[in-house]
Amino acid sequence: MASEAEIQAMRRAIGLAARGLPTALPNPVVGCVLLDPDGSVVAEGWHDHAGGPHAEVVALTAAGERARGTTAVVTLEPCNHTGRTGPCSEALLKAGVVRVVIAVPDPSDAASGGAARLEQAGVDVEVGVLTAEAEQGLEPGEGNEVWLTAVRQQRPFVTWKFAATLDGRVAAQDGTSQWITSVEARSDVHRLRAQVDTMLVGVGTVLADDPLLTVRDAEGSPLTRQPLRVVADTHGRTPQDARIRGNDAPTWIATGAEVGTTADGAIDLPALMQQLYARERRHVLLEGGPRLAGAMVEAGLVDRVVAYLAPALLGAGPNALMDAGITTIADVWRLDLTDVRRIGGDVRVLARPRPR
Ligand code: AOF
Ligand code: ZN
Q: At 108, which CATH number?
A: 3.40.140.10
Question: Within this chain, do residues 131 and 190 fall inside the same structural domain, yes or no?
Answer: no
d(CA 141, CA 350): 9
Question: Within this chain, do residues 164 and 120 fall inside the same structural domain, yes or no?
Answer: no
Q: Provide φ and ψ at 187, rounded to 5°.
A: -75, -30
CATH number of the domain encompassing residue 262:
3.40.430.10
Apex 58 CA angle, 54 and 59, nearest 5: 120
Q: Where are the beta strands (DSSP E) in the chain?
A: 31-35, 41-46, 71-76, 99-104, 124-127, 157-165, 198-202, 228-232, 251-254, 283-286, 304-310, 335-343, 346-353
Question: Within this chain, do residues 199 and 115 fall inside the same structural domain, yes or no?
Answer: no
Q: Say if 144 falls within a structural domain.
A: no
Q: Say if 271 falls within a structural domain.
A: yes
Q: Provide φ and ψ at 132, rounded to 5°.
A: -65, -40
Q: Say if 237 falls within a structural domain.
A: yes
Question: Within this chain, do residues 12 and 98 fall inside the same structural domain, yes or no?
Answer: yes
Question: Within this chain, do residues 183 and 326 fall inside the same structural domain, yes or no?
Answer: yes
Atom index in ligand 1 nearest the CA of residue 51 equals 9
Identified catalytic residue from 56, 133, 142, 287: 56
Name residues contacting ligand 1 (CB within 6 A).
Answer: 27-28, 30, 47, 50, 54-56, 76, 78-79, 83-85, 88, 106, 108, 111
Question: Within this chain, do residues 128 and 160 fall inside the same structural domain, yes or no?
Answer: no
Testing ligand 1's pocket by substitution, the residue of 27, 32, 49 carrying the most ligand atoms inside 8 A of its CB is 27
Question: Within this chain, do residues 110 and 206 fall inside the same structural domain, yes or no?
Answer: no
- For ligand 1, atom 15, which residue shows the shortest CA distance? 27
Q: Return the SS3 of 227.
A: coil
Question: Within this chain, do residues 92 and 183 fall inside the same structural domain, yes or no?
Answer: no
Question: Within this chain, do residues 178 and 268 fall inside the same structural domain, yes or no?
Answer: yes
Q: Say if 346 falls within a structural domain.
A: yes
Q: Is 280 a catalytic residue?
A: no
Q: How far is the CA of 140 from the centre of ligand 1 (A)?
A: 23
Q: Say if 146 falls within a structural domain.
A: no
d(CA 135, CA 129): 11
Which residues in the chain land under pLDDT 50? none
Domain boundary among 136, 167, 197: 136
Q: Say if 148 falls within a structural domain.
A: no
Query: For residue 25, which ligand has an atom nearest its CA?
Result: 1
Question: Within this chain, do residues 122 and 179 fall inside the same structural domain, yes or no?
Answer: no
Domain boundary among 136, 162, 186: 136
| Structural domains counted in the chain | 2
Question: Within this chain, do residues 36 and 185 fall inside the same structural domain, yes or no?
Answer: no
Looking at residue 141, its pLDDT comes to 85
Q: Say if 143 falls within a structural domain.
A: no
Atom index in ligand 1 nearest the CA of residue 108 equals 17
- For ligand 1, atom 20, which residue shows the shortest CA distance? 79
Domain boundary among 136, 165, 186: 136
Q: Say if 100 falls within a structural domain.
A: yes
d(CA 69, CA 98): 5
d(CA 71, CA 35): 5
CA distances from 5 to 9, 10, 133, 299 (A): 6, 9, 16, 44
Domain span at 266: 154-353
